[in-house]
Amino acid sequence: MAQEMTSSEIAAVKHLQETSEHPPHKKQKMEKVNTSAKRLEDRLNHILSCSVCLDLPISTCMQCCHGHLMCVACFHHLLADARLKDEPASCPSCRVEISRGSCTRNLAVEKAISELPTKCATCGAIFPRSSIAAHEKHECSERIVTCRFKELGCVWSGPAHELSNHFDNCVHPHKSPNELLQCLNSIKDQHSQQVSLLHNITNLLSCENIAYTEVQLQPYRTDDFVTKLFYASNRFHLLGQAWVLKAYVSAVERHPSNPTVSADRKLSFQLQLKSKVSEAMDLDVLLLKAPYEKINVTPKLFHATFASDRSECEQQLLETDDVNRMLGSKYLNVRLFMFHQKH
């Protein structure tokens, strides 16, 4: 027969249960181990890092004859700098002369670094550096993959763990020969468009007057009652004239006037001539992404005539995904070429 417990006894039992699950001293000890392990990792990162760029060498690690570490990129950089200045290269830590002959690889450091833990950029799991590349490329369930039938026009892409689900619903394996032929023809069309774009650009490179510049498009808002976003560059000079490049975001078809309603967006570019010209200017204009720009700008080549009464020309450039990426980042940097053939 169970005996009645007093409230103080119940409290004591409760306390006992709590402490037996997580004895406080053990918990503290575990935290200590965790933080000291982390500190060991940080200390190793610090000890094994390149003395020039302070990053961990990811491939070859070199050392001076006194043992100071440098990643191979910085090592070559130091040698190249010294060659340009026509003076001997020296170790940034101890000033001893360094050269290909006097420096050696440090295999132990390379191996130690390959065992240090690092985080997968997509799923966040921790792996030794030596296996992270293989994980990110072949194993990570969050890595972005495309459908096997991409070549036949399936545009699906998504995390690897959703691929089998997509296969169950993908319509491309069930297409008829006629439909497949259509797919192949449209791929062929795209390809020949690209070839002719390259062909035209190659021809234009022989043009007598070529000018180019980098243009940064910054976001602004219109003064309308419902303000609209647009992008504009500062005034820039090319071929002796002043220009401004603007870009407008608009929705594709469904709600052309209101780009906030639909996610299918496109970006139209407007090139404006800001100076007066006495005679008409026939131009071929090429827009590309600028160096280091991460947003993928599909090269756009177009012909435009500018005259005293025609100072603007408009072109569509980016499509949905890239426009959304652009809206997410602050600026868009493009490189703008102008080809001017005098008649």
> Which residue among 62, 74, 301, 323 contacts Zn ion (CB under 5 A)?
74
> Which residue among 61, 62, 68, 337 contacts Zn ion (CB under 5 A)?
68
> Which residue among 30, 40, 53, 184 contacts Zn ion (CB under 5 A)?
53
> Which residue among 170, 183, 252, 288 contacts Zn ion (CB under 5 A)?
170
Nearer to Zn ion, 68 or 265 (CB): 68
> Which residue among 71, 109, 267, 334 contacts Zn ion (CB under 5 A)?
71
Cβ of residue 71: shortest distance to Zn ion, in angstroms?
A: 3
Cβ of residue 66: shortest distance to Zn ion, in angstroms?
A: 4
Residue 21 CA to residue 283 CA, distance in Å, equals 78
> Which residue among 48, 56, 61, 64 contacts Zn ion (CB under 5 A)?
64
Q: By rule CB under 5 A, what count of residues binds Zn ion?
A: 20
Cβ of residue 46: shortest distance to Zn ion, in angstroms?
A: 14
Q: Is residue 56 near Zn ion by the rule CB under 5 A?
A: no
> Which residue among 50, 238, 247, 295 contacts Zn ion (CB under 5 A)?
50
Cβ of residue 157: shortest distance to Zn ion, in angstroms?
A: 9
Nearer to Zn ion, 173 or 256 (CB): 173
Cβ of residue 334: shortest distance to Zn ion, in angstroms?
A: 32
The answer to whether residues 306 and 176 touch, using CB atoms and an 8 Å cutoff, is: no
Helix axes 107-115, 24-48, angle to 10 degrees: 140
Q: Is residue 69 near Zn ion by the rule CB under 5 A?
A: no
Cβ of residue 180: shortest distance to Zn ion, in angstroms?
A: 14
Cβ of residue 287: shortest distance to Zn ion, in angstroms?
A: 32
Cβ of residue 108: shortest distance to Zn ion, in angstroms?
A: 17
Question: Which residue in this structure is represented by tokens 């006037």?
Answer: 257
HEC secondary structure over the chain: CCCCCCHHHHHHHHHHHHHHHCCHHHHHHHHHHHHHHHHHHHHHHHHHCCCCCCCCCCCCEEECCCCCEEEHHHHHHHHHHHHHHCCCCECCCCCCECCCCCCEECHHHHHHHHHCEEECCCCCCEEEHHHHHHHHHHHCCCCEEECCCHHHCCCCEEEHHHHHHHHHHCCHHHCCHHHHHHHHHHHHHHHHHHHHHHHHHHHHCCCCEEEEEEEEEEEEECCCCCCCEEEECCCEEECCEEEEEEEEEEECCCCCCCCCCCCCEEEEEEEEECCCCCCCEEEEEEEEECCCCCCCCCCEEEEEEEECCECEEEEEEECHHHHHHHHHCCCEEEEEEEEECCC
Residue 314's Cα: distance from chain center in Å? 28
x/- track of binding to Zn ion for residues 75-104 (CB under 5 A): ----------------x-xx----------
Residue 194 CA to residue 298 CA, distance in Å, equals 11
Please report, as residue ranges, which positions from 120 to 149 form the binding site for Zn ion (by CB under 5 A): 120, 122-123, 140, 147, 149
Cβ of residue 269: shortest distance to Zn ion, in angstroms?
A: 33
Q: Is residue 154 near Zn ion by the rule CB under 5 A?
A: yes
Question: Which residues are at the interface with Zn ion (CB under 5 A)?
Answer: 50, 52-53, 64, 66, 68, 71, 74, 91, 93-94, 120, 122-123, 140, 147, 149, 154, 156, 170
